[in-house]
Amino acid sequence: MIVLVLIGLIGCRITPRIESSSLTAITNVKILDGVNIINEIVVVIEGPNILSVGGEISQGATIIDGNGATLMPGLIDSHVHTDMNGLADALKFGVTTVLELQGTWSRRERERIAENDRIADLRSAGMGISPEGGHPSQYMASHNFLMSYIFRFPFVNTVGEAVRHVDRQVSSGADYIKIFIEDGTIVGAPGLTATSLEVARAATERAHSHGKMAIAHVTTVEGTRIAINAGVDGLAHLFFDQPHTAELISKIKNSGVFVIPTLVTGSSAFGNDAFELAADPHVSSRLDNKWLDALSRSINSYPEGILEDSLASVKALHNAGVDILAGSDVADPLPVLGGLAPGASLHHELRLLVVAGLEPIEVLRSATSIPARRFGLIDRGRIAPGARADLLLVDGDPITNIDDTLNILAVWRRWVALP
């Protein structure tokens, strides 16, 4: 766990909770505001929000000396499937917000999460759209982590069912709509039934009528084409089955969608484990053995996949101006879902995005300001007056070395420090 007395690095005691009437100033820090490194070295917090960046420090304010560390917005993982323990683990790694792309949280449970500053905040799609025999039904018979879905998964086969499903999810509090377009090739279950273009388009249009985004799960070129033709707003995952073409990149760019490539999931599907990450003391000290064991395995559902092709596709999309969002697709520590762990895998994703050829500053935007903008989270993802004090303090300079994001000194959610 992160200690609150950062001896030799912070030089003062950080109290677990700052009363709303008090001011605290974090000084002597390099500030990544979510977009750029800025010249200011002071951030003043009042209550749960940032009061000011730079300028004079009010008399009587509590001072936290950052001793040259880097302060950035709390990270946003744009693709998870999670539970309460997963939300707690994510926060240990500075992930203050997670965007769930399939889940069963009730409205009341989500209200409690919003008020619990000891776990990551949550946005969710609720239950996704998938036809009978579609993804993720192949997991249902193999493990009880989805056994509840056997009775609760609302399979969608027709346009009318798609419209009614979207209406139900929105009435239940869904923040956006998820559509599965998966034929099973990449997930080790060839022959799955993928959502049709007609159903995907109906679901997307209905989501838009409610003012909600539609985000499509795709892992192949064909699935990507269906999603784009359906008019979705974002792609969860990447086409892992083929190298990109200029025509496909142009089609994605012109559609205006964002892409959450989940390179960590693709890499694991190709047979690559994350054992080296699990062995890192910054990770092993924050996760229990079940998650460390999971990191040390791989999904290995598509060993013919070529990671270099996926990395090149991400770089081509980025070069074309497509918004890239960092996401892990972490779910449960099961044998079929190896190579992933909450919080830690987002840092792994940041590293892979750098390997793909993005600059560290661009990668850090993909986990802060870009998902905040694309998902309408106007109160986070930036260090700016009025924003939530969801903050991550790290030793070193992640703009120079992306690995430094794991040198975590302190994490705050709404200015409540992680003990």
Report the chain's mean pLDDT, rounded to a whole number: 92
Asked if 102 and 176 sit in the same domain, the reply is: yes
pLDDT at 71 over 80: yes
> What predicted TM-score, i.e. pTM, was given to this entire model?
0.93
Asked if 403 and 290 sit in the same domain, the reply is: no
pLDDT at 147 over 90: no
Distance CA 291, CA 143 (A): 17
410 in Cβ contact with 418 (< 8 Å):
yes
| 24-39: average pLDDT | 97
pLDDT at 181 over 70: yes
Q: How far is CA 129 from each of CA 16, 72, 205, 212, 273, rounded to the nearest angstrom?
A: 41, 35, 14, 14, 30
Distance CA 150, CA 346 (A): 29
How many CB atoms are closer than 10 A to CB 58? Answer: 12
Q: Is residue 4 part of a domain?
A: no
| 42-57: average pLDDT | 95
> Residue 307's domain is classified under what CATH number?
3.20.20.140
> Residue 413's domain is classified under what CATH number?
2.30.40.10
Sheet strands (E) in 202-261: 214-217, 234-236, 258-260
Q: Provide the pLDDT confidence category of residue 149 given band limits of 50, 70 and 90.
A: very low
Between strands 75-80 and 37-38, the pairing is: unpaired
- Give residue 58's pLDDT: 84
Asked if 108 and 192 sit in the same domain, the reply is: yes
Phi, psi for 62 (deg, rounded to 5): -70, 135
Exposed, middle or buried by CB within 10 Å (0-12, 13-18, 19+), for 289? exposed
Return the closest-CA partner of residue 323 out of 370, 281, 271, 265: 370
- Reduced to 3 states (helix: H, G, I; strand: E, B; else coil), residue 230 is helix
- Give residue 138's pLDDT: 78
Q: Provide the pLDDT confidence category of residue 386 given band limits of 50, 70 and 90.
A: very high
One-letter amino acid at 241 equals D
Domain that holds residue 191: 75-374
Asked if 233 and 87 sit in the same domain, the reply is: yes
Asked if 185 and 272 sit in the same domain, the reply is: yes
What are the tens digits of pLDDT across the range 321-365? 999 999 999 998 887 889 999 999 999 999 999 999 999 999 999
pLDDT at 196 over 90: yes
What pairs with residue 214 in β-bridges? Answer: 177
Asked if 103 and 242 sit in the same domain, the reply is: yes
Asked if 315 and 411 sit in the same domain, the reply is: no
Asked if 30 and 59 sit in the same domain, the reply is: yes
Kindly state the percentage of the chain with pLDDT values over 70.
92
Distance CA 320, CA 330 (A): 28
- Give residue 139's pLDDT: 74
Q: Is residue 14 part of a domain?
A: no
Q: 139-143, 191-195, 198-202, 257-261: lowest mean pLDDT where?
A: 139-143
CA atoms in the 13 A half-sphere facing the CB of 92:
20
Distance CA 417, CA 419 (A): 6
Asked if 135 and 158 sit in the same domain, the reply is: yes
Q: Is residue 249 part of a domain?
A: yes
Asked if 47 and 108 sit in the same domain, the reply is: no
Asked if 249 and 290 sit in the same domain, the reply is: yes
Which value, to the nearest 10 degrees, does the dihedral of the CA atoms of residues 219, 220, 221, 225 take?
-60
Q: Is residue 82 part of a domain?
A: yes
What are the tens digits of pLDDT across the range 218-239? 999 999 999 999 999 999 999 9
pLDDT at 21 over 70: no
Between strands 214-217 and 234-236, the pairing is: parallel
The structural domain count of the chain equals 2
Kindly state the percentage of the chain with pLDDT values over 90.
86
Q: Is residue 62 part of a domain?
A: yes
Q: Is residue 143 part of a domain?
A: yes
- Give residue 336's pLDDT: 84
Q: Is residue 128 part of a domain?
A: yes
Phi, psi for 292 (deg, rounded to 5): -65, -40
What are the tens digits of pLDDT across the range 85-126? 999 999 999 999 999 999 989 999 999 999 999 999 999 999
- Give residue 409's pLDDT: 98
Asked if 189 and 205 sit in the same domain, the reply is: yes
- Give residue 142's pLDDT: 56
pLDDT at 13 over 50: no
Q: How far is CA 408 from each of CA 2, 6, 72, 78, 186, rounded to the nearest angstrom?
A: 8, 11, 11, 20, 34
More confident residue, 381 or 135: 381
Phi, psi for 233 (deg, rounded to 5): -95, -25
Q: Is residue 334 part of a domain?
A: yes
